Structure 1
């Protein structure tokens, strides 16, 4: 019975969703911290948040092997989280950043 539960479709979805939630929470935390006394361009805050959340992004990237060359090598899951935090159109606004 336990083996049946481990192979259920939702059994792998929950940890993957947790990775996405962790990455989004990290980005939001870093953005909120960047709103403090520091002043700077929104792009600099975004880049700083992405750099500080690199570990969470790497874990999500390893979990989702899908890649499109046109998406700068990032998985659709990573882009979905980035767009949920930074808003639609993030791909264009972040085109100058290195991941």
Structure 2
């Protein structure tokens, strides 16, 4: 997981372009469960065993009022974490 990537959904980089940004490795064993914020930049290597695989469950929750604040076609993080005039994303959500 790329630390800090939860702050925005439109990632400006591809894997391998992290530079000095902190990458956190999640050590897991077969049968382990990980829960994480889906907007973090994350990946997993391909299965290596003949019968290897993984089970995935995606769940999303948003209150009805959310759709009054988030424009169509945008993610709620895009509404909260807007870029400044230099193109940088703030570390705290914007308040209106």
Report the TM-score, using the length of structure 2 for normalisation.
0.25
Larger radius of gyration: 2
Between 1 and 2, higher relative CO (CA 8 Å, sep ≥ 6) is seen in: 2
Q: Higher helix share goes to which structure?
A: 1
